[in-house]
């Protein structure tokens, strides 16, 4: 163990299951879905009318959807953050509901960057005065941000980084995925033989990452370790992955190299698992290239809380830490008839396992891939 090893000392999140990590974890273990009918706007003309929406979050003129989520997450924070902490914010659409209100009301549309404004508001909300940066790398945003934070700490460029992620369900987002015919009107079924698309979700979350030296100095309890990270880009298609999975394979192999371990050391896989035909198929090809036919226990949480876009990797990371704590992986919510290429890997039941290393993967538009290796 080195002084500059990146370690996780705090996290929290809000999802469609509710406020906090435990309520989400319990819902996933019970194979419960938090997807519901969209009431926030008229979705009757879209391909799907359901999403994983957080209760008590409403469209308001004075406060955006994501700021409402971040405020709830911040108010539930148990640990104080030092003002010299650096921040990385990730989001795809930021305060998109404000932009929608301007467009739909025929007002002059602001040319200011909504994400820049959100970054400033987030810094103020969390009381962070260190360096701040914004990462928007499609649905791999959180994974990329966590890798960036870990590399900053490993290189001695920082000893405290707060990574914050958020995205909301908006009419713009549902319209976009509906136009791509990428939504499953019967809810997402990751790795199911009859899967037809994803279900959009929303979430906000944060993870506080310190150097081991600073965590020890401040007597912080270490929740987990970021052992390895790897990034890649397929450069294949604007909205679809390279079907051979080579880009994701490259990211996984880089993460294994950084962690200085072999694929045999991995206990299980937290897959991106969106429920689209091409994503899930690509992931299984990538996993089998890395792990051969070893039938690694694998799961996806998106059938329960939807695809939370820029926050997806952060939610995956936090749930991965819960699996390591409990030595059990949750069922893949929504799967009924497991696809042939996923049999022996995916289960509709919770599965106990041995080991302390988990691989978490995310992929996104533009061919972005992120792989993280988490240990306890």
pTM above 0.85, yes or no: yes
Sign of the C-alpha dihedral, residues 123, 129, 135, 139? Answer: negative
Q: Indicate whether 222 belongs to any domain.
A: no
User: Over the chain, what is the mean pLDDT?
Assistant: 94
Lowest mean pLDDT of 85-89, 171-175, 206-210, name the range: 171-175
Q: Indicate whether 231 belongs to any domain.
A: yes
Q: Which of 161, 193, 217 delimits the end of a domain?
A: 217
Tens digits of residue pLDDT in 329-363: 999 999 999 999 999 999 999 999 999 999 999 99
The total domain count for the chain is: 2
- Provide, rounded to the nearest whole percent, the portion of the chain with pLDDT above 70: 98
Considering the domain architecture, whether residues 137 and 266 belong to the same structural domain is answered as: no
Considering the domain architecture, whether residues 253 and 371 belong to the same structural domain is answered as: yes
Tens digits of residue pLDDT in 233-270: 988 777 777 789 999 999 999 999 999 999 999 999 99
CATH no. for residue 161?
A: 3.40.47.10
Spatial distance between the Cα atoms of 109 and 121, rounded to a whole number of angstroms: 20
Q: Indicate whether 209 belongs to any domain.
A: yes
- Which pLDDT band holds residue 106 (cuts at 50, 70, 90)? low
Spatial distance between the Cα atoms of 215 and 268, rounded to a whole number of angstroms: 27
Domain that holds residue 294: 227-375
Tens digits of residue pLDDT in 2-55: 788 999 999 999 999 999 999 999 999 999 999 999 999 999 999 999 999 999
pLDDT at 66 > cutoff 90: yes
Considering the domain architecture, whether residues 69 and 209 belong to the same structural domain is answered as: yes
Tens digits of residue pLDDT in 121-156: 999 999 999 999 999 999 999 999 999 999 999 999
Considering the domain architecture, whether residues 241 and 271 belong to the same structural domain is answered as: yes
Considering the domain architecture, whether residues 164 and 20 belong to the same structural domain is answered as: yes
Does residue 346 contact residue 299 with C-beta atoms inside 8 Å? yes
pLDDT at 62 > cutoff 90: no
Tens digits of residue pLDDT in 7-21: 999 999 999 999 999
Give the count of alpha carbons within 13 A of 311, CB side only: 33
Residue range 173-199: average pLDDT?
Answer: 95
More confident call, 114 vs 288: 288
Considering the domain architecture, whether residues 94 and 156 belong to the same structural domain is answered as: yes
Q: Which of 170, 185, 217 delimits the end of a domain?
A: 217
pLDDT at 1: 65
pLDDT at 111: 57
pLDDT at 28: 98
Spatial distance between the Cα atoms of 315 and 361, rounded to a whole number of angstroms: 12
């Amino acid at each position: 163990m080195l002084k500059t090893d990146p370690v996780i000392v705090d996290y929290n999140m809000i999802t469609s299951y509710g406020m906090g990590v435990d309520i989400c974890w319990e819902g996933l273990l019970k194979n419960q879905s938090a997807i519901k009918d969209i009431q926030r706007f008229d979705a009757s003309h879209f391909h799907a009318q359901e999403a994983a929406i957080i209760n008590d979050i409403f469209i308001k003129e004075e406060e955006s959807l994501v700021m409402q989520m971040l405020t709830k997450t911040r108010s539930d924070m148990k640990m104080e953050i030092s003002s010299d902490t650096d921040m990385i914010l990730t989001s795809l659409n930021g305060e998109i509901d404000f932009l929608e209100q301007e467009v739909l009301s025929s007002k002059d549309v602001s040319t200011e960057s909504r994400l820049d404004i959100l970054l400033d508001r987030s810094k103020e909300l969390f009381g962070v005065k260190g360096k701040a940066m914004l990462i928007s790398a499609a649905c791999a945003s959180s994974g990329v941000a966590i890798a960036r934070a870990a590399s900053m700490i490993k290189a001695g460029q920082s000893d405290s980084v707060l990574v914050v992620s958020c995205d909301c369900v908006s009419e713009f987002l549902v319209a976009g995925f509906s136009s791509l015919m990428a939504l499953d009107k019967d809810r997402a079924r990751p790795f199911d033989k009859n899967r037809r698309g994803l279900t959009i979700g929303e979430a906000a979350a944060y993870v506080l990452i310190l150097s081991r030296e600073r965590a020890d100095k401040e007597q912080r309890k270490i929740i987990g370790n970021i052992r390895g990270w790897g990034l890649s880009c397929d450069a294949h298609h604007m909205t679809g992955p390279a079907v051979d999975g080579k880009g994701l394979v490259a990211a996984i192999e880089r993460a294994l190299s950084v962690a200085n371990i072999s694929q045999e050391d991995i206990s299980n896989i937290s897959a991106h698992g969106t429920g689209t035909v091409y994503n899930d198929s690509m992931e299984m090809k990538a996993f089998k290239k890395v792990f051969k036919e070893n039938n690694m226990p694998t799961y996806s949480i998106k059938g329960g809380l939807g695809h939370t876009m820029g926050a997806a990797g952060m939610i995956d990371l936090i749930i991965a830490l819960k699996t390591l704590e409990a030595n059990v992986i949750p069922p893949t919510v929504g799967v009924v008839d497991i696809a042939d290429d996923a049999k022996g890997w995916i289960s509709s039941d919770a599965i106990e396992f041995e080991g302390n290393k988990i691989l978490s993967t995310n992929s996104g538009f533009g061919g972005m891939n992120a792989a993280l290796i988490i240990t306890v």
